[in-house]
Amino acid sequence: MSELITILTAVFVASSIMIFLLEKLSHPRIPAYILAGIFVGTFINQSEILGLSQLGIAFLVFVFGIKSDLGRIRAVGEESVSTALIQIFVVGTMLFLVAKGIGFSLSDSLYFSLAGALSSSLVGLELVKSEVRVDILHGRLAEAIQLFQDLVAVIAITIILSGFTVESIGLNLSYLCVTILGALIIRQILMDKVARLAEGSRELITLFSLSVLILFISTSQYINSSLVVGSFAAGLAVSKFPHNMEILDTMGSMKDFFSSIFFVTLGALIAVPTFETLILTAVLTSTTLLLKPVMTGVALLINGYDRRTAYLTGLSLDQTSEFALIIAIQAHIAGTIDPAIFQSIILSATLTMIVSSYTSRYEEELYNYVSNLQLVEVNSRKINEKTSLPEKLEDHVILLGFDTQGREIAEALRQEDQSFVLIENDPEKIEEFSKKHDNYIFGDVMDEETWKKASSRSAKMVISTIPFRRISKKILDLETDADKILRAQSTLEARELLEDGALYVNVPDILSSEELVEHVNGVIEDRHYREELRRRNLLEIRRYLQEHE
């Protein structure tokens, strides 16, 4: 027990210092954790680190499972599955042949292949925790692809732990099917009942979810499977919306705790590499960072998605999977993996996760550079199928987002007989909107092509119900004389947007949906209303800031 406390103390002290130093230099947290791990690994026994790493991975796999909204993913399920299969087959086959050609065994080649073919849902979870990426089309595609890859990884783990005998594989796959089926039954039947019995208590729902986690981990251990298999199933079991959001809200500090353990222990597992390890690492890392995103992007282009969605989805998958790490760690403990293969997987995972944290931060700049090269021509069939526009749009309103506010504004515009077009990236919301309204664009608001389709230059007004600064800045940078009504998460942000040229900024703490609709109608009906609206908005925000200083 004292040894565990010593390890955890070292992990958190080292990671706190590194986070403090790197955040001062505007670096992401993942490199800080890994650098802390490299330091900690110099004086802590590796066998103790291996057990701690598996524990961290198991809990984070559980959290990712909770995040997986199967209903939302279903809308992009077909393309995600086909894309994942193409990428896994091409990348996995190539790496398998490379390892086999060098002279490694069948099992070692398989470990090497899986490490490059699968992507990390844990890194995706860490990177999007304060972003809107999962609500944007490429975020949803990446989440669906990662979920399918995790399922493939769970099957692979089950087969590997069976010892590659036909009888054991059949028996363990049967156990796995029963486990997943049990998880889905809990999700569909028990979650709603538990939520009703809990009477809105988040603590009780969270305790239930942790009990489910313990149950599934115990079951997986009983059937001689990996604990991450049980964690994955448990996450799916309690992932039903909206209960999963309540669970995630109460588990925020626990997730941060296990995130730090995972990334720090990953760094601690790094050893001084041999020349053979460096060669293998170079092959695995370059394949993961370059070939895998390219294959994902090409597959999505073939499926009819636009260039930006395809590129950004591929870019979000440029890291080694935590499931590959679990397989490698367990094989290393059992002594069934070549040390060079094991270290190349650890080193490649470390490098790709660090690089991924930076490519995620600068994805827009990277995309703009690549798009200027015009390497691929696309037809965006999947995007166009869900878009409906007249031949000409002029003197119209562009509405972004079809949430609660968006619905009320759309209805108000329809009643005023005002021509307008919706931009939305949620397939279900587009389908809902199309039942009552005519003009809509299924696309990414950060893509220039989307604004060309919306005829932004000839619009009279742009209304955004999306409270994210990056999107608001994009709207303000549009080359159009249209009035811009935006939404902000804080009054400070609202003041900045007003100073940058917004006509009006909606802050949820100040304004209700009904008042926003009244302001929209006022601007449409009376051009003199706009100056008074802007003046009142500035006064409201200044007064609010003064009152809350």
Query: At a CB cut-off of 8 Å and minimum separation 6, what does 161 contact?
Result: 172, 224, 225, 226, 330
Phi, psi of 422 (to 5 degrees): -95, 140
Using DSSP bridges, classify how beta strands 420-424 and 440-442 pair: parallel, antiparallel or unpaired: parallel
Instruction: Indicate the residue among 311, 345, 373 that finishes a domain.
Output: 373
- Which of 117-126, 158-167, 412-421, 469-478 shows the lowest per-residue confidence on average (mean pLDDT)? 117-126
Q: 400 lies in which domain range?
A: 386-547
CATH number of 451's domain: 3.40.50.720
Strand partners, 84: none
Rounded Cα–Cα distance for residues 457 and 459 (Å): 6
Please check whether residues 345 and 403 belong to one and the same domain: no
Residue 202's contacts (CB-CB under 8 Å, 6 or more residues apart) are 246, 247, 249, 250
10 within a domain of the structure (yes/no): yes
Q: Residue 343: what pLDDT? A: 92
Same-domain pairing of 274 and 149: yes
| Whether residues 322 and 400 fall in one domain | no
Whether 440 contacts 462, CB under 8 Å: no
Last residue of a domain, one of 317, 352, 373: 373
Please indicate, yes or no, whether residues 318 and 352 belong to a single structural domain of this protein: yes
Q: What is the DSSP letter of 287?
A: I
Same domain, 343 and 469: no
pLDDT tens-digit profile of 195-246? 888 776 777 888 888 888 888 888 887 777 777 788 888 888 888 877 777 7
pLDDT digits (tens, 9 = 90+) for 336-355: 889 999 999 999 988 988 88
Q: What is the gyration radius of the CA atoms in the chain, in angstroms?
A: 25
Look at residue 130 in the predicted model and tell me its pLDDT: 41
For tokens 């007989």, the residue is: 417
Are 340 and 423 in the same domain? Answer: no
Distance CA 519, CA 509 (A): 16
In a domain? residue 381: no
In a domain, 140, yes or no: yes
Cα separation, 454 vs 399, whole angstroms: 10
Q: Quick one: 332 and 251 in the same domain?
A: yes
Q: 116-173 pLDDT, tens per residue?
A: 888 876 665 555 444 444 456 777 788 788 888 888 888 888 887 777 677 788 888 8
Query: What is the DSSP track for 393-454?
Result: --S-EEEE--SHHHHHHHHHHHHTT--EEEEE--HHHHHHHHTT-S-EEES-TT-HHHHHHT
Counted domains in the chain: 2
Six-digit token string for 366: 């990277």
Q: Are residues 143 and 215 in the same domain?
A: yes
| Nearest CA-CA partner of 507 in 457, 549, 467, 447 | 467
Q: Is 223 in a helix, a strand, or coil? A: coil
Tokens of 330: 């367990």
DSSP summary character for residue 461: E
Please check whether residue 454 is in contact with residue 436, taking contact to mean a CB–CB distance below 8 angstroms. no
* Residue 492 domain-assigned (yes or no): yes
Question: Are residues 446 and 422 located together in one domain of the fold?
Answer: yes
Q: Is residue 63 part of a domain?
A: yes
